[in-house]
Amino acid sequence: MVLAAILLKLGGYGIIRIHPTLPYQPTLIIYPTMAISLWGIIMAGMTCLRKTDIKALIAYSSVGHMAFVVSATLIQTPQSISGAITMMIAHGLTSSMLFCLANMLYERTHTRTLLSLRGMHKTTPLMTLFWLTASLMNLAIPPTINFMGEMKTMTAMYNWSPTTMLLMATGTVIVATYSLQMFLSTQQGHLEKNFKETYPTHTRELLTLMMHTTPMIMLIMTMQLIS
């Protein structure tokens, strides 16, 4: 949770602060780094589609989202910087919430394999609501701040080079695919016999999840704070 929510964002913040102070021409590093970032969006997404470990899936998802941020920060326009900051805040809350949910499942089932984590909505229906919320925010549906961040980023990238939209749009579709796959794999289907006696959601777990959900909902209504 700390890695996805804080440490990864320190890297993005460092790029935003240091990039304008470079003594040489930015074009010397923009094009190769941009190519690596855009390709990283696709590769991280394809890796997520093949992962069976839920925590590894969420971790590689963080890599793909940070590739969006790096691409935006390299352009150094007001819109791209605003989009990158919005994405970092949104993803920091979303990925931390997903890791928290994955750990709650592991505490009950002692496995992280998606093939084994099926039908959990039958034992923890309230947690399913938070899984749905986190998954939808991860795939950036409107009007979430994840959607606003991706729209700003993709608009800035299109203004810089229209050809980049092909890779970014493909990456967005892949993100939506594995986010829905993760939700359906863990919540739908036939429940394993060993998991039928799992305990319900605790109050401390609900408070932890609400501490992630509440800021995301409040930021939707006050986008001017990070725009």
Task: Report the pLDDT value the prediction gives residue 43, as an integer from 0 to 100.
Answer: 92
Write out the two tokens for 32. Answer: 């190769």
Select from 225, 227, 224, 76 the least CA-distant residue to 156: 76
Select from 45, 40, 72 the least CA-distant residue to 151: 72
Select from 217, 75, 221, 60 the least CA-distant residue to 152: 75
Task: Report the pLDDT value the prediction gives residue 109, as an integer from 0 to 100.
Answer: 83
Task: Report the pLDDT value the prediction gives residue 24, as an integer from 0 to 100.
Answer: 61
Please identify which residue in the block is written with the tokens 């935003």.
16
Ramachandran quadrant class, 144 (left: phi over 0; alpha: psi -120 to 50; beta: rest): beta
Residue 95 exposure: Cα atoms within 13 Å on the Cβ side: 28
Task: Report the pLDDT value the prediction gives residue 130, as an integer from 0 to 100.
Answer: 92
Residues of the chain with pLDDT under 50: none
pTM of the model: 0.89
* Domain-wise residue ranges, the chain: 2-18+28-225
Task: Report the pLDDT value the prediction gives residue 100, as an integer from 0 to 100.
Answer: 92
pLDDT in tens, 9-35: 888 888 888 877 766 656 677 888 888
